[in-house]
Structures are given as C-alpha cells and as structure tokens.
Amino acid sequence: MNSFADVRHDVLDLHKTVLDAARREYERDHGRLRNTEFLSVLIEDPAFAWLNPLTALIARIDEALEDEEQSPGLEELASRLRALIAPGTGDRDFQRRYADILQREPDALVAHVRTMRALQR
C-alpha cells in the first residue's frame, strides 16, 4: 500500500468530491447556500447523515497518523475504508447514495478509482 499519507490525500479528495455533489443536489431542492449556511446544514440536517461513516473514518485515519502508537491500526482502517466504498458492501444508506453520485459525477468516479488503487498498493 502507498504511504498512508497518500491514501489520506486521496480519500480527502474523494470526500470533497462526494460532498460537493451532495451539496449541488441539496441546493437544487433548497436553494443556493452560503458556505457558512451550508456548514450548518451539513452538521444538522439529516440529509447529510449518510456521509457520517466516511467522515468518521477520515477522522480516525487522521488520529492514527498523528499518534505513532496507533499506526498499526492503519491497516484495519484501510480495510474498513475499502469495505465502505467498495460496491455492494458497507452501510446500505451510504452505498445507495454513494453509488448514485458515482454514476452521475465523473469526478467522483475518478476520485473513487484513485482511492481504491491507493488502498491496494
């Protein structure tokens, strides 16, 4: 596997791309939001709760990268990340919405493939 810093970079790019797509979808239904308004919506609106598994894994990866004692746990986190974003596995609500974004958004698909490749190296 690549250095985990590379994996982290790829998964952050994936998260941003997916989040941007989800924001565009939300704004189509609810109107344009300023960044500060969107941050509140992201935290409080159940419409974005499906992203929590990915966001939580990123936070755990950051913690493990900062704490050398947790470094052995990076392989487990990589496995959990693979399981979450691989088609047909992981959280059902996450998978359904994630798959929809991958089908609609070429940038998200590219980021997904890049992340999966980084996790396999």
**What are the domain boundaries of the chain?**
4-120
Question: What pTM value is reported for the model?
Answer: 0.88
22, 31, 33, 48, 62 from 26: Cα distances, Å:
6, 8, 9, 9, 28
In tens digits, the chain (121 residues) has pLDDT values of: 447 888 899 999 999 999 999 999 999 999 999 999 999 999 999 999 999 999 999 999 988 888 766 666 888 999 999 999 998 776 788 999 999 999 999 999 999 999 999 998 7
pLDDT score, position 31: 96
